[in-house]
A and B are shown apart, each in its own frame.
Chain A
Amino acid sequence: AQSVTQLDSHVSVSEGTPVLLRCNYSSSYSPSLFWYVQHPNKGLQLLLKYTSAATLVKGINGFEAEFKKSETSFHLTKPSAHMSDAAEYFCALKTPGSARQLTFGSGTQLTVLP
């Protein structure tokens, strides 16, 4: 069985400070991992993906994530938060070669304070 755990349901940071959103996964196989962002009343936008190439993945809008197999983690970071980063963030997992679809974490609401 595979699962995704987002360790914080809500994170607050001040504008200009670093962002860390935590994601742990469980998978019997080498997974593909994704981070999506969802602004209010919008669809999900792909921020970045890991598919067994480089373990440090750079995405859009200054976000990056590091795949750590030993820790089964795929945490999302950004050096300096902007007000526009305030949104819901979802970590998701897919096992290549499987017909099973994306397994989502429960989401982390990011608040950016002025």
Chain B
Amino acid sequence: DTEVTQTPKHLVMGMTNKKSLKCEQHMGHRAMYWYKQKAKKPPELMFVYSYEKLSINESVPSRFSPECPNSSLLNLHLHALQPEDSALYLCASSQPVQGASEQYFGPGTRLTVT
């Protein structure tokens, strides 16, 4: 099974709302990632978790808060977002970060901030 699942598929939220995106994988991967993707652009890395510890934060605003409750789950908590945060949010997983293995991506959550 090479599947990464993400919920919800679509999310519309106001600038004062609090919501969470969820990601799950059952491939035994120990690295998990959050990306943000704008239309017609490549994904931009936001966060990397390695062995459930945050290893990379690409200077992401604090209104985005990641969480890795266990090796299979990754959450992204959202609060006080701005309209420019509207994008496709992709989760990915891979074997340990230092290796050469590929990343497997989920289908994404389409986020619209109103």
Interface size of B as a range = 20 to 34
Chain A residues with a Cβ closer than 8 Å to the other chain, count: 25
In the docked arrangement, what's the CA distance between A98 and B56, Å?
A: 13
Q: A26–B37 Cα gap in the complex (Å)?
A: 23
Task: Report the minimal beta-carbon distance from A77 to chain B, rounded to whole angstroms.
Answer: 20
Given contacts A42-B107, A43-B106, A44-B105, contact A99 B43 (CB under 8 A): no
B102 touches A90 (CB 8 A): no
Residue from the list B6, B40, B45, B110 in contact with A41, Cβ < 8 A: B110
Contact of B56 among A42, A96, A99 (CB under 8 A): A99
Interface residues of B (CB under 8 A from A): 4, 6, 33, 40-43, 45, 48, 55-56, 88, 90, 92, 97-100, 102-108, 110
Q: Which 4 A-B pairs have the closest CB atoms?
A: A104-B42, A96-B100, A32-B100, A43-B105
Please, could you name 24 A-B residue pairs with CB atoms under 8 Å apart, sorted by A? Answer: A41-B88, A41-B108, A41-B110, A42-B108, A44-B43, A45-B105, A46-B102, A46-B103, A46-B104, A51-B100, A88-B40, A90-B42, A94-B100, A98-B98, A99-B55, A99-B56, A99-B98, A101-B45, A101-B48, A101-B56, A102-B45, A106-B42, A107-B42, A109-B40
